[in-house]
């Protein structure tokens, strides 16, 4: 059971990383550097846990359930997690000599983000070993891809700053908003009504946006000719 749960935890991470790495068709990034970024993403879980713990203390004092869901979705989870992923990219990838085409931003962001998602996924799958199969399968098709979608948005706009001197602000703001909406749909309820009916549509929307950004980044590569 332990081995099966571990495989189920890691498989979606590995498959998405492999897909993104292979989509970088013109000039592959050094695999060692990518794995280093993944390890930094894994380590970012530590400050995230500390910050989220303290932010949840504030959340405990919020009486309105909608405001509480908003705080937990956008501030506790969305902003905190995307902020630390963003900081890893700024500290370790943005000035790298290997960052020489727009697709690199997406590759680096996904490797960082799925490093974070790897730790999170293992934690949730092993949290209840009797339900590991259900938890692992559901997360493989929802939460893990969502982390990749947020990262693709972040990496695309990080490259905009790197190569076109655009504002750096969207590289943090847009993933934060996308992540917050994702969690708010899961957390919020209005009496007996919830927002879960919108969940598959929102995931599909994120998938479409992400695929378009990847195609745009590939087309903008200076190495394609």
pTM for the full predicted model: 0.96
As a whole number of angstroms, the distance between CA 2 and CA 118 comes to: 16
As a whole number of angstroms, the distance between CA 202 and CA 160 comes to: 25
List per-residue pLDDT tens for the chain, 225 residues long. Answer: 788 889 999 999 999 999 999 999 999 999 999 999 999 999 999 999 999 999 999 998 998 999 999 999 999 999 999 999 999 999 999 999 999 999 999 999 999 999 999 999 999 999 877 788 999 999 999 999 999 999 999 999 999 999 999 999 999 999 999 999 999 999 987 766 789 999 999 999 999 999 999 999 999 999 887
Return the pLDDT at 207: 98
Closest CA to 48 of 125, 112, 106, 99: 112
Query: Where are the alpha helices (H) located in 128-168, listed in sequence order?
Result: 132-141, 143-164
Q: State the average pLDDT for the chain.
A: 95
Pair 139, 13: CB distance under 8 Å: no
């Amino acid at each position: 059971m332990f081995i099966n749960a571990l495989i189920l935890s890691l498989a979606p991470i590995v498959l998405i990383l492999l897909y993104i790495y292979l989509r970088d068709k013109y000039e592959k990034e050094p695999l060692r550097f990518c794995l280093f970024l993944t390890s930094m993403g894994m380590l970012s879980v530590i400050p995230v846990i500390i910050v989220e713990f303290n932010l949840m203390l504030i959340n405990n004092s919020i009486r309105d359930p909608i405001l509480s869901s908003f705080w937990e979705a956008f501030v506790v989870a969305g902003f905190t997690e995307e902020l630390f992923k963003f900081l890893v990219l700024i500290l370790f990838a943005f000035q790298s000599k290997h960052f020489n085409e727009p697709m690199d931003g997406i590759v680096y962001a996904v490797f960082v983000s799925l490093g974070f998602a790897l730790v999170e996924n293992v934690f949730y799958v092993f949290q209840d070993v009797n339900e590991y199969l259900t938890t692992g399968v559901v997360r493989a098709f929802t939460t893990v891809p969502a982390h990749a979608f947020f990262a693709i948005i972040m990496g695309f706009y990080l490259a905009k700053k790197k190569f076109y001197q655009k504002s750096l602000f969207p590289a943090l703001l847009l993933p934060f908003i996308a992540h917050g909406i994702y969690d708010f749909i899961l957390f919020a309820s209005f009496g007996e009504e919830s927002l879960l009916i919108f969940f598959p549509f929102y995931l599909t929307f994120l998938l479409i946006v992400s695929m378009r950004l990847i195609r745009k980044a590939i087309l903008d590569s200076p190495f394609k000719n």
